[in-house]
Amino acid sequence: MNTHGKPLKRFPAVRLCSLLLTGVSLAAQTVPARIDLVVVEGEGVVNDARQRVARKLVVRVEDDDHRPVAGASVFFALPVSSGASGEFTDGSTSVTVVTDSQGIATARGLRANAIPGKLQIYVTASYRGLRAKTLITQTVEGATVTATKPAAKSHKSGTWKWIALAAGAAGAGGGAYLASRSHTSTPSAISISSVSVSFGGPK
């Protein structure tokens, strides 16, 4: 009987123990000793720089007993350097996601840029003052464009041009002294007369 004269409600011993164990379990999940980050999807992905396909990053937040932690805040950040990076659906380089009842956080719409190299995504989880961090490493691959060097001018073509001009001058009865424009060897003198054309210089 209670103070109002009504009988007390009795709980079976088994049910009481069950409620106590449930309360202990909930308390342990609410305030874990530590949290960990496990990469579920996204690690080792190879992105083609020529085809910017949207990807998703999936991580799971666990406590020290490997149980899922719901309600944790997970921050995904892409590098802001000039190398391999990317952006999410809204065009930003970072996004924050809250874990669901299974401790899962998913960042959707990641598109890598067109710069080949190693892409590292920084992931940080926080829950009731506890923090955990990890890296998701991907690769951006694609053909790089290289400028084609112009073909070097042939010295021989210039030499024969001078010889042709010299021959024309000889046919007209004029005489001239012409030198080759080559910078890599000793210039060869060309002696021209109305009779013949001969080359001077060492053999």
Angle CA 73–77–83, to nearest 5: 170
- Asked if the model's pLDDT at residue 7 lies above 50, the reply is yes
127 strand-pairing partners: 130
Structure tokens at 163: 């010889």
| Domains defined for the chain, CATH in brackets | 32-141 (2.60.40.10), 155-199 (no CATH)
Q: CA-to-CA distance for 82 and 57, rounded, in angstroms?
A: 22
pLDDT tens figures, 143-157: 555 444 555 554 544
- Asked if the model's pLDDT at residue 108 lies above 70, the reply is yes
- Looking at per-residue pLDDT, the higher value among 40 and 182 belongs to 40
Helix, strand, or coil (residue 28):
helix
Q: Give φ, ψ of 126 to 5 degrees.
A: -135, 140
> Identity (one letter) of the amino acid at 37?
L
- Looking at per-residue pLDDT, the higher value among 42 and 168 belongs to 42
- Asked if the model's pLDDT at residue 36 lies above 80, the reply is yes
In this structure, of 22-26, 32-36, 137-141, the range with the lowest mean pLDDT score is 22-26
Per-residue confidence (pLDDT) for residue 99, from 0 to 100: 98
Per-residue confidence band for 91, with pLDDT thresholds at 50, 70 and 90? very high
Per-residue confidence (pLDDT) for residue 74, from 0 to 100: 98
Q: Give φ, ψ of 50 to 5 degrees.
A: -85, -15
Q: What is the DSSP letter of 64?
A: T
Global pTM reads: 0.58
Q: CA-to-CA distance for 39 and 59, rounded, in angstroms?
A: 4
Q: CA-to-CA distance for 107 and 95, rounded, in angstroms?
A: 7
Sequence-distant (≥ 6) Cβ neighbours of residue 69 within 8 angstroms: 29, 32, 35, 61, 62, 63, 99, 103, 127
Per-residue confidence band for 178, with pLDDT thresholds at 50, 70 and 90? very low
Q: In whole numbers, what is the pLDDT of the chain averaged over residues?
A: 75
